[in-house]
Structure 1
Amino acid sequence: MPNTYSQIYIQVVFATKGRETLIEDKNRQEIEKYITGILTNKGQKLIAVYANPDHLHLFFSYKNLKITIPELVKIIKSESTKFINDKRLSFGKFAWQESYGAFSYAKSQKDAVTQYILNQKNHHQKRSFREEYLDFLEKFDINYDEKYLFEFYDKLE
């Protein structure tokens, strides 16, 4: 019987509502583990995750093609929001912004992307999230309208 095979590497980036710094470092790993479970339960293979105080990076092998990336992101956001609020892992009421970025990579880039995500804490000491995200859009040649980007409150540089 024929089968379908695929190997697609995807990085997804999304931000907290209002870009508030709602994810405390002491709760970061618990949130990451929960999101890992969501991806695993949806038939995906997580490679790297990092929950910054105001945004999240996921890098996974997109294996279950029966679920679209928008459906998957919606599930991750809604289930993790409920988990964070139920467990009170955030200051006040937690929510993610509606938008997200999804970027594809070749197998040869897997290690570099993984290290990039796992090194987020150091990375953001040198670069703002706005700079990082705009760089993704430019590197991937994505046309965008500023008014439809994440809610960025840091100054334009």
Structure 2
Amino acid sequence: MSYIKIWIHAVWGTKNRLPLLKEPVLSQVCKHILDNAKEKGIYINTINGYDEHLHILMLLKHDCSISKQMQLLNGESAFWINKNSVTKANFEWADKYFAASVSDDKIDKVRAYICNQQEHHKRYTFAEEYKLFLRGIGYENDLG
């Protein structure tokens, strides 16, 4: 078995940034993603979001690429949301997402940031937050 420890902070939004994750939907979706991840051997440290997006702090599985792990989580969750009529409207995630590695010394800061989403979004929209993330890692273009 290979041993790796790569922390990933992933963020993805709903298609067209529709606010489909208002409570209690957000809690249901987060719980399902946690349960699904556990079944697939994916360790999620922290998960939270806001009306139109989710943040996850997780370890990358030794046998997964980031894109594969994202598909296992967001692709399956969209299917589950629609199958169980969790939202009134048809549910889709946006095609693009943000994912970045996190060093061990930043884990507590990222965890706190994810846990504080409701407070954070009293000041910033998801679009503003996303642009700040991209600017912070050297991308100036909006990946939407």
> CA RMSD, aligned part only?
1.4
Structure with bigger strand share is: 2
Among candidates 92, 96, 101, match of residue 98 of structure 2: 101
TM-score, normalised via structure 1 length: 0.85
| Structure number with bigger Rg | 1
Gaps of 5+ in 2: none
TM-score, normalised via structure 2 length: 0.92
Q: Does 1:65 align with 2:49?
A: no
Q: Does 1:20 align with 2:50?
A: no
CA distance in 1, matches of 2:58, 2:3: 16
Question: Residue 155 of structure 1 corresponds to which residue in structure 2?
Answer: none
Q: Matched residue pairs, number?
A: 144
Alpha-carbon deviation of 1:137?
1.0
Gaps of 5+ in 1: 151-157
CA distance in 1, matches of 2:22, 2:127: 20
Alpha-carbon deviation of 1:5?
2.0
Q: 1:44-97 deviations in whole A, cap 9, x for unaligned?
A: 2111111321111111122x2211110111221221011111221113101001
Question: Is contact 1:21-1:54 (8 Å) kept?
Answer: yes
Q: Does 1:77 align with 2:71?
A: no
Question: Is contact 2:12-2:98 (8 Å) kept?
Answer: yes
Question: Is contact 2:14-2:92 (8 Å) kept?
Answer: yes
Q: 1:15-49 deviations in whole A, cap 9, x for unaligned?
A: 10111001121122121011112222332211111
Q: Does 1:130 align with 2:127?
A: yes
Instruction: Specify the code of the residue in structure 1 equivalent to 2:48.
Output: Y
CA distance in 2, matches of 1:133, 1:51: 13
Instruction: Specify the code of the residue in structure 1 equivalent to 2:133.
Output: F
